[in-house]
């Protein structure tokens, strides 16, 4: 029996393993299906990682390398090239690798399986089925890890960070990126990526537009892009045709929760990740989750911080599990689409309870407010600018939650000028 089993060795799993070791768990198993540790970071060869955690600007592989070096100073057992097939409520984990099928058990489990990309089928783009349509992450893997340039004239659908990063990457590799097309009236990527990956290379960003046709067989030869109305319906007469051989899709990520669902863990339909308490515990006692499997993060540094929280809580669970006496639900209002955590254990033992969330529209000067069930203000945080593309965070002092009952509501309100 292991103290802790961690599934997935991206930045979430690696940080959780190191932090759990530092929190005095001495029998830890880290399982990764890939041959290499590091998760998605291995294909992110651009810089922009590690500014918070290591106070340096690192590439994805360098960031992963730092965590792998830290892991070498521990006795964490690592099984790579090993796929987890199943987990259950008794913390039994079934896995398979070249040695065969095996069952292992942990006193606690941390889920850190990351997420996968949405594909063309998810949004049903009309048109022919020629080759040359890739998800942006697949194209990134081909270029950065396998050395294949996937096309020469490219249109990108979706302005999430992967699409933006790939617009720059394809340009640097000699391809012509004709347009980045976004159905929303705002980009869903980080502001810094819009500047550094599109504007710096004169790549046009078409907001409130989408691809309405893909032409060409056996290879894509044209795409038709149309403006959309506020209900995302294409507006006839606004069509633009681009001659291209490649379409990259950056249309969202889906947390990898097949294992979690099969185990009976409650999934939040808004995040598509496990519903978690403030210590990253899921609805099954002793099963914790962190990183992109819980919610899509913009920054690996935040993934590492969340993983540390899960690891410390898992260690506490194994070493001295104190029962909780109650809980608060965290509700949303005022354009807040979800929060993580969705529940807070009572009594609150942490000095600060961090809540992250996203909104479904852009706000200028505004305030993030937390109110209790009677409408009393718990706390308020001023913000200059909030965009759906950037994960927001607030830290609520634990003391302010004393005596609150049933639920809290997190909302954003526009500040009057
Ligand atoms: C293109 C792109 C650009 C980015 N740019 C930046 C940036 O500039 N700066 C920044 O800070 N962040 C950036 N990020 C975000 C950051 O990389 C991610 O938030 C982070 O990697 C998520 O970490 P994770 O450990 O949760 O998931 P992952 O890195 O996806 O790791 C999950 C791991 O779990 C493994 N796994 C899944 N299922 C199983 C199973 N059943 N059995 C065994 N193993 C399993 C997977 O193989 C994988 O290795 C970027 C992300 C992308 C995709």
Q: What is the DSSP string of 244-294?
A: -SEEEE---EEE--HHHHHTT--B-TTTSSB---TT-B-SSTTEEE-GGGT
CA-to-CA separations, 51 to 58, 165, 173, 275, in angstroms, rounded: 8, 18, 26, 28
In this structure, the residue with its CA closest to atom 52 of ligand 1 is 162
Query: Are 247 and 155 spatial neighbours (Cβ–Cβ below 8 Å)?
Result: yes
In this structure, the residue with its CA closest to atom 27 of ligand 1 is 114
Domains of the chain and any CATH numbers? 1-117+253-322 (3.50.50.60), 119-251 (3.50.50.60), 324-417 (2.60.40)
Query: Are 246 and 176 spatial neighbours (Cβ–Cβ below 8 Å)?
Result: no
**Buried/exposed 70-93: b ≥16 CB within 10 Å, e otherwise:** bbeebebebbeebebeebbeebeb
Reported as a pLDDT band with limits 50, 70 and 90, residue 122 is: confident
pLDDT (average), residues 197-211: 97
Bigger pLDDT: 95 or 402? 95
> What pLDDT is recorded for position 417?
64
> What pLDDT is recorded for position 389?
83
Percent of the chain predicted with pLDDT > 70 = 100
**Ligand 1 pocket residues where CB is under 6 Å:** 7-13, 31-34, 39-41, 44, 48-49, 83-84, 112-114, 137, 140, 161-162, 165, 256, 259, 291-293, 297, 299-301, 303
Residue of 6, 7, 8 best suited for mutating to test ligand 1, as the one with most atoms within 8 Å of CB: 8
Query: Are 59 and 47 spatial neighbours (Cβ–Cβ below 8 Å)?
Result: yes
pLDDT (average), residues 339-355: 95
Q: What share of the chain is helix, strand, coil (3-state, %, to 5)?
A: 25, 35, 40
Residue of 5, 7, 9, 10 best suited for mutating to test ligand 1, as the one with most atoms within 8 Å of CB: 10
Per-residue tokens: 41: 């970071």
Per-residue tokens: 232: 């995302």
pLDDT tens, 357-393?
999 999 999 999 999 999 999 999 999 999 888 899 9
Query: Are 354 and 295 spatial neighbours (Cβ–Cβ below 8 Å)?
Result: no
What's the alpha-carbon Rg for the chain, to the nearest Å?
A: 22
> What pLDDT is recorded for position 126?
87
Torsion angle, alpha carbons of 334, 339, 345, 348, to 10: -70
Give CA–CA dist 166/177, Å, rounded.
9
> What pLDDT is recorded for position 189?
86
The alpha carbon of 355 and the centre of ligand 1 are apart by a number of angstroms equal to 21
The alpha carbon of 296 and the centre of ligand 1 are apart by a number of angstroms equal to 9
pLDDT (average), residues 244-249: 97
Q: Is the model's pLDDT at 54 over the cut of 80? A: yes
pLDDT tens, 136-176?
999 999 999 999 999 999 999 999 889 999 999 999 999 99
Per-residue tokens: 289: 């989750």
Q: Which atom of ligand 1 is nearest to the CA of 296?
A: 19
Indicate the SS3 state at residue 121.
helix
- Element housing 100 (H / E): strand 100-111
Give CA–CA dist 178/176, Å, rounded.
6
Phi–psi pair at 67, nearest 5 degrees: -70, -35
- Secondary structure of 126-188 as H, E, C letters: CECCCECEEEHHHHHHHHHHHCCCCCCEEEEECCCHHHHHHHHHHHHCCCEEEEEECCCCCCC
Cis peptide before 241 (omega within 30 of 0): no
Average pLDDT, the chain: 95
CA-to-CA separations, 227 to 182, 193, 237, 263, in angstroms, rounded: 10, 23, 9, 43
pLDDT tens, 271-299?
999 999 999 999 999 999 999 999 999 89
Per-residue tokens: 222: 């044209």
Reported as a pLDDT band with limits 50, 70 and 90, residue 415 is: confident
Q: Which atom of ligand 1 is nearest to the CA of 82?
A: 43
Query: Are 187 and 205 spatial neighbours (Cβ–Cβ below 8 Å)?
Result: yes
Phi–psi pair at 188, nearest 5 degrees: -95, 15
pLDDT tens, 305-333?
999 999 999 999 999 877 888 999 999 99
Q: Is the model's pLDDT at 23 over the cut of 80? A: yes
Residue of 39, 138, 249 best suited for mutating to test ligand 1, as the one with most atoms within 8 Å of CB: 39
Residue with tokens 């898992």: 314
Q: Is the model's pLDDT at 256 over the cut of 70? A: yes
Nearest to 114 by CA among 308, 337, 265, 295: 295
Q: Is the model's pLDDT at 67 over the cut of 80? A: yes
Per-residue tokens: 408: 């809290």
């Amino acid at each position: 029996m292991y103290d802790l089993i961690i599934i997935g060795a991206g930045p979430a799993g690696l940080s959780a393993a190191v932090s759990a070791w530092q929190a005095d768990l001495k029998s830890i198993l880290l399982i990764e299906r890939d041959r290499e540790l590091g998760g998605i970071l291995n294909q992110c060869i651009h810089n922009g990682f590690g500014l918070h955690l290591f106070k340096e600007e690192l590439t994805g592989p360098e960031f992963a390398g730092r965590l792998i070096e830290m892991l070498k100073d521990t006795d964490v057992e690592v099984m790579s090239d090993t796929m987890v097939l199943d987990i259950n409520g008794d913390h039994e984990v079934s896995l398979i690798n070249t040695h065969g099928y095996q069952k292992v058990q942990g006193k606690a489990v941390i889920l850190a399986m990351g997420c996968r990309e949405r594909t063309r089928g998810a949004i049903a783009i009309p048109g022919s089925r020629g080759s040359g349509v890739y998800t942006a992450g697949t194209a990134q893997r081909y270029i950065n890890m396998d050395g294949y340039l996937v096309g020469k004239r490219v249109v990108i659908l979706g302005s999430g960070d992967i699409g933006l990063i790939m617009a720059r990457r394809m340009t640097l590799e000699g391809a012509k990126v004709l347009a980045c097309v976004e159905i929303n009236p705002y980009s869903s990527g980080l502001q810094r990526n819009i500047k550094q990956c599109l504007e710096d290379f004169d790549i046009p960003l078409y907001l409130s537009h989408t691809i309405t046709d893909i032409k060409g067989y056996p290879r894509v030869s044209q795409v038709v892009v149309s403006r959309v109305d506020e209900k995302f319906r294409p507006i006839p007469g606004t069509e633009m045709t681009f001659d291209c051989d490649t379409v990259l899709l950056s249309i969202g990520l889906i947390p990898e929760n097949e294992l979690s669902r099969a185990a009976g863990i409650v999934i939040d339909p808004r995040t598509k990740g496990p519903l978690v308490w403030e210590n990253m515990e899921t609805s099954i006692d002793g099963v914790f989750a962190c990183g992109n499997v819980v919610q899509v993060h913009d920054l690996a540094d935040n993934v590492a911080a969340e993983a540390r929280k899960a690891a410390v809580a898992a260690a506490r669970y194994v070493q001295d599990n104190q029962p909780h006496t109650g809980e608060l639900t965290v509700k949303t209002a005022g354009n807040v689409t979800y929060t993580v955590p969705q529940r807070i254990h009572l009594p609150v033992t942490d000095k600060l309870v961090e809540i992250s969330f996203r909104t479904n529209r852009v706000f200028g000067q505004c305030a993030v407010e937390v109110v209790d069930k009677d409408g009393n203000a718990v706390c308020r945080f001023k913000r200059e600018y909030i965009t759906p593309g950037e994960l927001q965070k607030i830290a609520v002092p634990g003391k302010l939650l004393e005596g609150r009952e049933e639920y809290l509501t997190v909302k954003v309100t526009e500040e009057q000028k």
